[in-house]
């Protein structure tokens, strides 16, 4: 699936609010439940964020993705996006940033995205959401259609694909992680199938957020390619300790 199509879907407002993370003992001092330090399902080079000008990487550490680790436990699909230096917002002139996990499941495109604003401008997006033309601060999109940009405005029509969901975002600025938590029940409901098999066209990407329009900055594809090629087997969970196999003891015959 092309990056242009995914960006078009998220530009309509696939965002979510940040929630405080739960602290606890974890690997390398991270909160409990985080992936093993240095382990990713998908990696991305540092300094390749290209917001505003795709030919001129701005190296904004707040938009710079370093890796993505995925975990599914039967209840939730969690995406842990490692950022170079997560802050309240981009160091550029825009107030907000947006992080998105996008994937194809059972023929449906899921886009789980969240935004955070350094000066509290999220209230503007939430207000725009009341029109049905933009997503709420917490928003899951499924098969969201592309948008058509008119003269100075964004023309939107029809079902935007915004769905009610238990989707949550965690903005861990202390450790530079964006954590996405999407209930498996929502994936099965809107995907029309049990959450098994492989997720196709999977990618995480960052963008600036200007209330209802975003500019893509970085993604987990090599050289920020226009085509998403990520594939992930549900339940792989390679960055977390694997349960030990149960060995049955053999009883001696008398």
The tens digit of pLDDT for each residue in 1-44 reads 544 344 333 333 333 333 333 333 344 578 889 999 999 999 99
What residues form DSSP beta bridges with 148? 155
The pLDDT mean for the chain works out to 81
pLDDT at 53: 65
| Dihedral sign of CA atoms 107, 108, 109, 114 in order | negative
Q: How far is CA 247 from CA 12, 65, 169, 237, 250, in A?
A: 52, 41, 39, 22, 9
pLDDT in tens, 174-185: 999 999 999 999
Element (H or E) spanning 218, and its range?
A: strand 213-219
pLDDT for residue 114 is more than 80: yes
Q: Is the pTM of this model over 0.85?
A: no
Which residue ranges make up each domain of the chain? 3-23+40-233
pLDDT at 130: 75
The span from the CA of 125 to the CA of 204, in Å, is 22
DSSP-assigned states of every residue in 164-206? ----EEEEETTTTEEEEEEEHHHHHHHHTS-S-SEEEEEEEEE
CA atoms 43, 104, 145, 69: torsion sign: negative
The pLDDT value recorded for residue 185 is 98
Q: In the structure, what pLDDT confidence band is assigned to residue 220 with cuts at 50, 70 and 90? A: very high
Helices (H), the chain: 3-11, 122-129, 184-191
pLDDT at 33: 93
By C-alpha distance, which of 116, 47, 62, 66 is closest to 92? 62
């Amino acid at each position: 699936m092309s990056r242009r199509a995914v960006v078009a879907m998220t530009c309509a407002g696939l965002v979510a609010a940040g929630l405080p993370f739960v602290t606890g003992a974890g690997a390398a001092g991270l909160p409990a439940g985080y992936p093993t330090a240095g382990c990713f399902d998908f990696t991305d080079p540092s300094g390749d964020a290209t917001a505003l000008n795709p030919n001129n990487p701005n190296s904004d550490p707040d938009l710079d993705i370093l890796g993505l680790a995925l975990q599914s436990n039967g209840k939730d699909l969690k995406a842990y996006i490692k950022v170079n230096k997560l802050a309240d917002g981009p160091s550029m002139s825009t107030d907000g940033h947006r992080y998105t996990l996008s994937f194809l499941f059972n023929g449906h495109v899921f886009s789980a995205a969240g935004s955070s604003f350094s000066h509290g401008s999220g209230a503007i997006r939430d207000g725009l959401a009341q029109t049905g033309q933009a997503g709420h601060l917490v928003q899951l999109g499924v098969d969201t259609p592309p948008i058509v940009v008119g003269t100075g405005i964004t023309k939107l029509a029809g079902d935007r694909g915004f769905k009610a969901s238990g989707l949550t975002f965690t903005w861990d600025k202390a450790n530079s992680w964006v954590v996405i938590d999407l209930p498996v029940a929502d994936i099965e409901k809107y995907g029309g199938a049990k959450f098994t098999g492989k997720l196709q066209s999977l990618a995480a990407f960052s963008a600036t957020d200007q209330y209802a329009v975003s500019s893509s900055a970085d993604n987990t594809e090599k050289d920020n390619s226009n085509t998403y090629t990520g594939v992930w087997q549900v339940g792989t969970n390679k960055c977390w300790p694997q349960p030990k196999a149960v060995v049955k003891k053999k009883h001696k015959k008398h």
